[in-house]
């Protein structure tokens, strides 16, 4: 290596001849630096063939065939700029559609009567060109209260109160002048759609499909729908369902055009979003804070939850956006009212100081029942507040609620929005009929018509893999599930030094321990009597979670002779106990103790058996394994040392934009097994989707990245073998990020391998798993979900790329959501059948449950590890988290707090199980 570093040619500098003299008339050409070895840009691989294994099954899917007529025309893309009369750009969203509609009404002739597909912001498309490359128009809109902003009241109006009479309220909104510039940006051949259907995707074909999506969005917008990306929601109370806290689930539809092997299809699905409960503001606040009456509301909280929401004010029915609340109560809040009747010496109108309450009741004769003792709603500008009494304000419908849902709201939403397959098909059929796309002029002008029949596809049902349990028994799962009744675990552990810790949960610990030992015995786990049961003392229950955990540990340390092998922890709350994070952190990163938490409500043998599955896996046992894993005879994987990775990044919930994201990589160990895993977890910049710590060179000899940790563990746990095959399952990336996974992330993985051993060239397989898509499958004429093991790799799959859908699990409630697997790279050379079978088998090695799961186990484990370690972060004070590990700080970036490392004896365990 070093010999190459002296000179680019590998020769010593002094052996070169002198350069030839330069003739006088030569103009020197600037020497281009010799191009570095050009980096190969990887793109997703093409499909090599279709699978054939399994029993054939005919299915229907929610893709509707689209017929594309003429393909010789062009879409023309124009940029739209909107300005107010005084030249300021229009910032409010939502007003754009009204302005463009007015442009079409007013200037139809100058625009050759063309229809527009407008995205509501900066882009507008037409079929065929407009008469000129640049158009400028002026339009006037009456009453600009758009459905998105408060109409940008003109700066010259005195909004120092709502103290104008009705005429003055209306004046600034009467009319508003806009300047509109429409200028040519690009030309997109419609032929690009045909090319995409042949698998020749290009920038153009994605743009052309985007135009079609925009036509559908605009179609929905004209009907007054709320648009959320590719979904739209109608203002129909039949579609609303209350999920608590002043929030409604609102059912609508997703629709998008997809290029597939069977041609162009329109994918339509049911979609749900959250909206604020429309109606009186006070009702929303009471529900949101679960308060008894308006006088017990927390107004600081109310101000946060109301900011930027749109209201209608009675009696004028005028619409505004809430900017805040008044400092004082309605009966005390003063403002200056201009008195036209009273002039001062200069002939100007006198100002009268008056309270909001007095003004509304005495000057406007509006009765107020309860607003006097509450703050007012402010809809004015920062320097010019406009106050309105609370009871005159009603929230407008279809306003999205974007904050994180509580556990209860989420459960309620899931419960109320699920639909059985047949019901979902009926709803989709009628939605397609109602939307009447056949009448959409722009679709007609591109010669597009949409079939109203569900597309029929051919699926195959893969047989369930055979499983091994204790005493050499094997058995076949039925319908994607099995149980351990009268069976022993395949590798049970012994639990010798352990204790119970009870954080004030109401529970008879003696009988719990007795039952646990008895259930363990039935499964082959030998459990000694616990060393002790630590009950939390009453005075500690009122302390903060961190202190409660500290005090409990002081107690444990004073009584136990040494570190226990295992602690069973009883928590008082069923969901999201705030003791969970500090307790896990203390055990795993400070003491290296395996711990299992439980909330002892409704404990029966089934519950305890499930608990023991998790405990056994955490302590290094195995509950069941694949027969082909034991023999070992997994195609391709058993022949050559192979590591299987699951990668995921989890982000803070919406509204917590500054919480670091957490990247987790889960890796198989003890080859040829594919049932044992460990996890490596790191924090990274908020909302960053690519994992940035796979390779982290800190010096010439040191790499602190995740991959090194993972590869060294594989080496030591697999009999000093390096993996020659690396299979990566990546979760949570969209199609637009596939190239980054292949070029940014995979490069880091390769660098980490080279850093360990320059001469080592493992082969890679990269597979992305997607759950949040909108493709569903139905059995024709059957009320049931598709059977577990159903795989689809034709017709509605990508025209060229290597993708397939798999429903590995038995959908018990609602409609099964298949997992969409995209094989981006395969250097090993799997056949379609072998790869689909491997993915199917990996849905059966999840140690926490006795069912097949909907996505491969390594990805599920990566979710769990990220979530569990994420709870460490929640409870720390900021000074502590920015510890000496020093975050990744690019110039100007915020430092990301590092996670504590787990202790050696637990970091290779399945602690996340």
pLDDT classification of 342: cutoffs 50, 70, 90: low
pLDDT classification of 790: cutoffs 50, 70, 90: very high
Q: Alpha carbon of 657 to those of 653, 654, 686, 688: distances in Å?
A: 8, 7, 7, 11
Model confidence at 150: pLDDT above 60: no
User: What is the rounded CA–CA span in Å between residue 819 and residue 828?
Assistant: 23
Give the per-residue pLDDT at 30: 64
Give the per-residue pLDDT at 345: 64
User: What is the rounded CA–CA span in Å between residue 48 and residue 699?
Assistant: 42
CA angle, residues 852, 858, 863, in degrees to nearest 5:
95
Domain annotation covers residue 804: no
| Confidence (pTM) | 0.86
Residues 600 and 637 occupy one common structural domain:
no
Domain annotation covers residue 78: yes
Domain annotation covers residue 455: no
Say if residues 214 and 177 touch (Cβ distance below 8 Å).
Answer: no
- Domain stops at, among 559, 589, 618: 618
Residues 115 and 134 occupy one common structural domain:
yes
Classify residue 475 by its DSSP letter: E
Give the per-residue pLDDT at 531: 92
pLDDT tens digits, 291-304: 888 888 888 899 98
Question: Which residue is listed with tokens 């709603």?
Answer: 377
Classify residue 188 by its DSSP letter: E
Domain annotation covers residue 745: yes
Residues contacting residue 303 through CB under 8 Å, at least 6 positions apart = 324, 325
Residues in the chain: 913
- Tell me the β-bridge partners of 181: 81, 136
Give the per-residue pLDDT at 891: 43
Give the per-residue pLDDT at 495: 93
User: Which residues form the domain of 321?
Assistant: 278-340+348-395
Residues 709 and 637 occupy one common structural domain:
yes
Domain annotation covers residue 48: no
Residues 598 and 674 occupy one common structural domain:
no
Domain annotation covers residue 783: no
pLDDT tens digits, 424-481: 999 999 989 888 888 888 888 888 889 999 999 999 999 999 999 988 888 889 999 9
Q: Alpha carbon of 355 to those of 323, 331, 364, 839: distances in Å?
A: 20, 6, 13, 70
- DSSP letter string, 649-710: EE-PPTT-TTSPEEEEEEEE-STT-SS-EEEEEEEESTT--S---SS-B-SSS-B-SHHHHH
Domain annotation covers residue 320: yes
- Token pair for residue 785? 């979900």
Question: Which residue is listed with tokens 């955490």?
Answer: 618
Taken in order 324, 330, 335, 340, the sign of the CA dihedral is positive
The CATH number of residue 297's host domain is 2.170.260.10
Give the per-residue pLDDT at 4: 39
Residues 695 and 830 occupy one common structural domain:
yes
- Burial (Cβ within 10 Å: 0-12, 13-18, ≥19) of residue 627: middle
Residues 651 and 767 occupy one common structural domain:
yes
pLDDT tens digits, 487-502: 899 999 999 999 999 9
Least confident of 182-191, 200-209, 673-682, 700-709: 200-209
Residues 209 and 295 occupy one common structural domain:
no
User: What is the rounded CA–CA span in Å between residue 748 and residue 726?
Assistant: 13
pLDDT classification of 316: cutoffs 50, 70, 90: confident
Model confidence at 35: pLDDT above 70: no
Residues 614 and 525 occupy one common structural domain:
yes
Residues 609 and 641 occupy one common structural domain:
no
Q: Look at residues 534, 561, 550 and name the one whose alpha carbon lies nearest to residue 590.
A: 550
Say if residues 571 and 601 touch (Cβ distance below 8 Å).
Answer: no
Residues 178 and 315 occupy one common structural domain:
no
Residues 636 and 522 occupy one common structural domain:
no
Domain annotation covers residue 27: no
Q: What is the mean pLDDT of the chain?
A: 85
Least confident of 17-26, 654-663, 727-736, 747-756: 17-26
pLDDT tens digits, 615-658: 999 999 999 999 999 888 888 889 999 999 999 998 877 666 67
Give the per-residue pLDDT at 341: 66
pLDDT classification of 884: cutoffs 50, 70, 90: very low
pLDDT tens digits, 277-295: 999 999 999 999 988 888 8
- Number of structural domains (the chain) is 4
- Reading phi first (left if > 0) and then psi (alpha if -120 to 50, else beta), residue 42 is in beta
The CATH number of residue 537's host domain is 3.40.50.2300
Residues 855 and 728 occupy one common structural domain:
yes
Q: Which residue has the higher pLDDT, 775 or 206?
A: 775
What element of type H or E holds 828? Answer: none
State the average pLDDT over residues 93-97. Answer: 80
CA dihedral 401, 404, 408, 413 (to 10 degrees): 50
pLDDT tens digits, 802-838: 999 999 998 888 888 999 999 999 999 999 999 999 9
- Domain stops at, among 592, 618, 644: 618
Q: Which residue has the higher pLDDT, 10 or 275?
A: 275
pLDDT tens digits, 39-64: 778 999 999 999 999 999 999 999 99
Give the per-residue pLDDT at 349: 67
pLDDT classification of 198: cutoffs 50, 70, 90: confident
- Domain stops at, among 618, 636, 652: 618
Give the per-residue pLDDT at 886: 40
């Amino acid at each position: 290596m070093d010999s190459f570093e002296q000179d680019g040619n590998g020769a010593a500098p002094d052996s070169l001849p002198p350069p030839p003299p330069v003739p006088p008339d030569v103009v020197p050409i600037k020497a281009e630096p010799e191009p570095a070895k050009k980096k190969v840009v990887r793109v997703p691989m093409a499909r090599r063939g279709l699978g054939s294994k399994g029993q054939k099954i005919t299915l229907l899917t929610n893709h509707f065939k689209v017929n594309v007529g003429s393909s010789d025309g062009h879409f023309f893309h124009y940029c739209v700029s909107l300005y107010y009369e005084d030249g300021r750009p229009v910032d409010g969203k939502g007003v754009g559609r009204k302005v463009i509609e007015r442009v079409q009404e007013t200037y139809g002739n100058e625009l050759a009567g063309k229809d527009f597909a407008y995205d509501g912001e900066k882009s507008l498309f037409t079929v065929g060109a407009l008469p000129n490359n640049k158009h400028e128009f002026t339009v006037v809109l009456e009453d600009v209260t758009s459905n998105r902003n408060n109409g940008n009241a003109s700066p010259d109006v005195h909004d120092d109160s709502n103290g104008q009479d009705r005429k003055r309220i209306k004046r600034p909104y009467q009319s508003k002048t806009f300047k509109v510039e429409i200028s040519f940006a690009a030309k997109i051949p419609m032929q690009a759609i045909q090319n995409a259907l042949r698998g020749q995707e290009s920038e153009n074909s994605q743009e052309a499909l985007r135009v079609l999506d925009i036509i559908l969005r605009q179609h929905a917008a004209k009907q007054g729908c709320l648009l959320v990306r590719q979904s739209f929601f109608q203002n129909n109370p039949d579609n609303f369902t209350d999920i608590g806290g002043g929030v409604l689930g609102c059912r609508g539809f997703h629709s998008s055009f997809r290029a597939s092997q069977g041609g162009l299809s329109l994918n339509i699905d049911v979609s749900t979003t959250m909206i604020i409960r429309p109606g009186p503001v006070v009702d929303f606040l009471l529900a949101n804070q679960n308060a008894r009456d308006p006088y017990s509301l927390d107004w600081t909280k109310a101000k946060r939850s109301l900011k930027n929401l749109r209201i209608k004010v009675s009696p004028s029915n005028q619409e505004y956006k809430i900017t805040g609340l008044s400092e004082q109560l309605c009966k005390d809040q003063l403002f200056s009212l201009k008195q036209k009747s009273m002039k001062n010496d200069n002939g100007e109108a006198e100002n009268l100081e008056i309270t909001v309450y007095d003004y509304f009741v005495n000057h406007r004769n509006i009765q107020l029942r309860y607003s006097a003792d509450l703050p007012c709603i402010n809809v004015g500008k920062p320097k010019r507040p406009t106050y309105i009494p609370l009871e005159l304000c009603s929230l407008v419908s279809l306003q999205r609620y974007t904050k994180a849902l509580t556990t209860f709201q989420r459960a309620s939403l899931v419960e109320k929005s699920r639909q059985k397959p047949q019901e979902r098909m009926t709803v989709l059929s009628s939605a397609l009929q109602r939307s009447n796309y056949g009448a959409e002029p722009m679709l007609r002008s591109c010669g597009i018509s949409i079939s109203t029949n569900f597309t029929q596809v051919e699926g195959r049902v893969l047989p369930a893999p055979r499983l091994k349990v204790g005493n050499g028994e094997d058995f076949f799962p039925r319908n994607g599930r099995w149980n351990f009744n009268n069976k022993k675990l395949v590798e049970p552990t012994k639990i010798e030094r352990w204790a119970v810790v009870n954080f004030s949960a109401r529970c008879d610990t003696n009988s719990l321990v007795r039952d646990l030992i008895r259930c363990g015995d039935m499964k082959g786990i030998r459990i000694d009597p616990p060393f002790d049961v630590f009950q939390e003392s009453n005075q500690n229950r009122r302390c903060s979670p961190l202190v409660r955990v500290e005090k409990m540990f002081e107690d444990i340390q004073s009584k136990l002779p040494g570190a226990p092998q295992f602690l069973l922890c009883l928590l008082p709350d069923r969901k999201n106990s705030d003791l969970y994070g500090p307790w896990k952190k203390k055990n795993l990163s400070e003491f290296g103790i395996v711990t299992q938490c439980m909330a002892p409500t409704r404990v029966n043998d089934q519950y305890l058996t499930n608990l023991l599955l998790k405990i056994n896996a955490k302590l290094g046992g195995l509950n069941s394994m694949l027969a082909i894993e034991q023999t070992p005879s997994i195609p391709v994987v058993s022949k050559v040392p192979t590591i299987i990775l699951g990668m995921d990044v989890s982000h803070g919930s919406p509204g917590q934009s500054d919480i670091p994201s957490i990247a987790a990589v889960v890796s198989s160990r003890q080859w040829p097994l594919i049932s044992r895993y460990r996890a490596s977890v790191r924090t990274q910049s908020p909302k960053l989707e690519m994992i940035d710590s796979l390779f982290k060179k800190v010096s010439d000899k040191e790499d602190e990245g995740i991959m090194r940790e993972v590869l060294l563990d594989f080496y030591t746990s697999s009999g000093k073998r390096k993996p020659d095959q690396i299979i990566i399952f990546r979760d949570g990336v969209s199609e637009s990020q596939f190239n980054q996974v292949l070029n940014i992330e995979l490069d880091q993985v390769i660098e980490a391998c080279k850093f360990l051993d320059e001469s080592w060239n493992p082969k890679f397989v990269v597979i992305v798993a997607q759950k949040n898509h909108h493709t569903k499958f139905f059995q024709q004429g059957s009320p049931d979900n598709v059977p577990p093991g159903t795989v689809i790799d034709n017709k509605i799959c990508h025209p060229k790329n290597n993708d397939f859908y798999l429903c590995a699990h038995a959908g018990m409630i609602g409609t099964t959501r298949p997992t969409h697997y995209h094989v981006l790279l395969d250097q090993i050379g799997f056949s379609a059948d072998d790869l689909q079978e491997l993915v199917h088998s990996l849905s059966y090695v999840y140690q926490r449950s006795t069912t097949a799961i909907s996505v491969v186990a390594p990805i599920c484990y990566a979710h769990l590890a990220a979530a569990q370690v994420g709870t460490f972060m929640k409870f720390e004070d900021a000074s502590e988290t920015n510890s000496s590990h020093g975050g990744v700080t690019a110039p100007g970036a915020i430092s990301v707090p590092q996670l504590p490392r787990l202790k050696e004896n637990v970091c290779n365990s399945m602690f996340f199980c």
